[in-house]
Each structure stands twice: as structure tokens, then as C-alpha cells.
Amino acid sequence: MCDTCGCNDHGHGGGRLLRVERDLLAKNDRHAAANRRWLAQRQGFMLNLMASPGAGKTSLLVRTLQDLGDEMAFAVIEGDQQTRLDAERVESCGVPVHQVNTGKGCHLDAHQVGHALTALDPPDGSVVMVENVGNLVCPAGFDLGEQARVVLLSVTEGDDKPLKYPHMFRGADLVILTKTDLLPYVDFDVSRCIGHTRRLHPGVPVIRLSVKSGEGLASWYGWLRAQRRHRSEAVVI
């Protein structure tokens, strides 16, 4: 059971637990709205990167910071249960990073992200990248105040994952199939996976990408530039 949200607890007292979870989500949504206003006032753009452990979130993040660091101002919020290992990789790129260790918690919430934004205090127009705790369940249910959600799925995980974790993929603004350089060595049907994804979320863009070979990086950077340009100017009421 997630100590933060009580998810996956279907034991006795289910009605009370459901009320508690609804209260927690309502409180989270208020913090998320505050984060969105905070970003809008600074013309900032925040992305929520979500994936299973080992799908390549940090590798893609580091490559993006290296390639676009001279073009955009970045700040990073790192979510993990323990350690600063990923934060240290980000720091090596010369980008400000704030670590959030959740302990037993299986996701970041908007209150934690709000504190991280205040601590980072990124300059106006910054792109804030949130690397959420690695799993395809709990993070899907918590709005952080982000303007876009990016879901990464490694080809090593299996092409049926969208069907197994539909809530995550229904909420995605972009799906990235990572580690495509490994396709010759794994049993993964790209067309089938994209089909599953678009049955859940018609029209969602899907990018095939490999940090190692460079495949798809131009498409990812193009999407990021367009999203930043269009969404950072949105007025949040």
C-alpha cells in the first residue's frame, strides 16, 4: 500500500479509506492549481516525466539538458524513494536540481513540487522537468501543476503495457518508446504497442527514441520547443 495516498488498499473500512483518498486528492488539486499559477506568472513550462524504473527517464533528461542547455533555461525536480544518484547526474550538466525523497511513497505530489519550485526559484521562462518516482500506477493519479505529461515506455518492457496500465497512458500528452536500438534483440511489436496506446488515447503523439543512437531526438526536441512556446504563455485562472 502507498503510505501517501492509500492506493491498493481494499481491506475493511473501504468507505472511510475512499473518503480519505478523495480528501487527499482534493487537497493535492488545490496545490496543483497554485503551482500552475506560480508557473504562469513566470511564463514557466513544467513537464511531468513518468515511467517504470529503468525506462530511461534520467538518460533522456541528461541528453536533453546537454543538447538544449544553451537554448533553454532548465530546472529539474528529481523524485525517488531514496538517494540522490539521479540528481547528481543532472547536476553534472550544470542545471539546478531539487531532490525529493519520498521514502515509502510511490509518487510525487503537488505540495512537494510546490516546495521544490520555491527552493529552485527558476528564472522566468524556464522549463521545469519533473522526473517522477518510477512506476506506472500511482503517479498517474496526482496532478502536479504540470502543463504536459510525458510517459516513457522502454521496448524491453513489453508492448502490452498500455493495456495493463491504461490510466497512465490515457493521461499522456506524449508517449516515448525508448531504447529502440534494442528492438532487434527483444520481442516488442512497435505497431501493436502504438495501436494499444491510441485505442486508449486517440491521436496521442508517439515518438520512437534511442538516446544511444540518437533516433527520435530531433522529434522530441521539436515537440518540446513547440509545447514550451504554446503553453508557457497560457493564462491560468
pLDDT digits (tens, 9 = 90+) for 176-196: 999 999 999 999 999 999 999
For the structural domain made of 14-231, what CATH number should be given? 3.40.50.300
Query: Buried b vs exposed e over 178-195: b needs ≥16 C-beta within 10 Å?
Result: bbbeebeeeebeeeebbe
User: What are the tens digits of pLDDT across the range 81-121?
Assistant: 999 999 999 999 999 999 999 999 999 999 999 999 999 99
User: Which three three-digit cell numbers place residue 199?
Assistant: 485505442
* Best CA proximity match to 185, nearest among 154, 161, 155, 212: 155
Q: Where are the domains of the chain?
A: 14-231
Q: Whole-number mean pLDDT of the chain?
A: 92
pLDDT tens digits along 57-78: 999 999 999 999 999 999 999 9
